[in-house]
Each structure stands twice: as structure tokens, then as C-alpha cells.
Amino acid sequence: MAKEHAEAMALVAAAQAEEINRRASELHEQIERHQVPPEYLANDELVTALREAKEAAGTDAAPDAERAVAERMHLIQKDGVQGPSIEDLRQEIGQDYSGIEESHFADAAFVAAARDWHEAKNLAEGGFEAKGNTGLQGRYENAEKEFFSRLALMGRDIEDKVMADRPTENSVPEAEPAPTRPTQGRPTVPRSTTTGSRPR
């Protein structure tokens, strides 16, 4: 069994290496321009951005496409090729917001919103709003709104289950406090005072 597992893993690694080499050949000009390390080509979002930059070359869309590549490179440098882990998100969100439970991270939609919030926050802190990404503030706020709506929805589901399972009419379990935003120390996305071309 151990031998079969090792052989399977070797096949997976070989397939991944072949795919990275294919991407490197396809996008070599963009890779050289942005000095992309080969291992970064395992990140699908970066590869998509590089392909869009290749297609936009010489057009009015080129500056926005190039900025998108720079943003994705920044995020990989911050979080690694695979992006933030569930544990990373749990720690970061738990520091800024109360009431976050382990069960919330079993919800794929909540995790997706948390990742988007995390990315928008990192890009703003990296100065990309001033570099032209004027949609960062809205992206941050929309992602925050989405994961708070998910918290509220899951809270109602738990409350309904508790009420359905209550032993008697006169014995109602006390509801847990709802997640809340902090009154101080809430992370904010800095608004840019620098004007520039509007990104994609």
C-alpha cells in the first residue's frame, strides 16, 4: 500500500511539473517581465492574470491587466502559492471580529467571502488602491457583508434546531450571543487620495 501511494504521488508530481513547464513556455514573455518564479505558476489565479496580460498587450486594457498580475504576485508573496489556509483565516478574522466559531469555516461560501475580504485587505495595505485599483474599498465591504450575512444565517439555523430539539415548552436553551464587529480596532481599507486610471 505504501509503495502504491508513493507511486501515485510521484505521478501527480510529474503531472504538475509538466503543467508548470507548459505554462512557462506559453507565458514566457510575461514571466520575464514580471520576474515570476517558476513555482508561482502553480497558482491558477496568477496564470489567468498572466494570460489576460498577454492578450491585452498593446491595447488600452494593458495597464489594468499588468496591475492585476502585480496584485496576484503580491498576494502570493504574502500568503504563498496556495493562498491563506483555513487556520490563517480563522486567526485573522478571530482577532478582528467576535463570535466566529469553528463551524463557520465548514461553510464553503463563508470561506470564499473570508478569502475575498482577506485579499482586499492585503491589497489595500500593499498600496494597490493608490496604484489604480479603485474597487478595493467596495470589494472589502462587500466581502465583509457577505460573511456577516453567512454568520447570521447559520445562527438562525442553529436556533431553529435548538428550538426543535427542546425537551419541554418551558425549557428553552439560552441563545448564544450573535457575532459582532468590534467598536474599536476594526480593520479598514484606506481610501486613496491618488488619482489614476481606473483598473479592470
pLDDT digits (tens, 9 = 90+) for 118-132: 999 999 999 998 788
pLDDT per residue as tens digits for the range 140-165: 888 888 878 877 775 554 445 455 56
48 grid coordinates: 489567468
For a pLDDT cut of 90, what percent of the chain falls above it?
Answer: 41
| Mean pLDDT, rounded, for 24-36 | 94
| Mean pLDDT, rounded, for 26-38 | 94
Q: Which residue has the cell 457575532?
A: 179
DSSP 8-state code for residue 134: T
Please say if the pLDDT value at position 188 is more than 90: no
Alpha-carbon distance of 161 to 53, in angstroms, equals 50
Task: Identify the pLDDT of residue 80.
Answer: 96
Instruction: Specify whether the CB–CB gap between 20 and 31 falls below 8 A.
Output: no
* Contacts of 75 by beta carbon, 8 Å cutoff, 6+ apart: 83, 119, 122, 123
CB atoms within 10 A of CB 200: 13
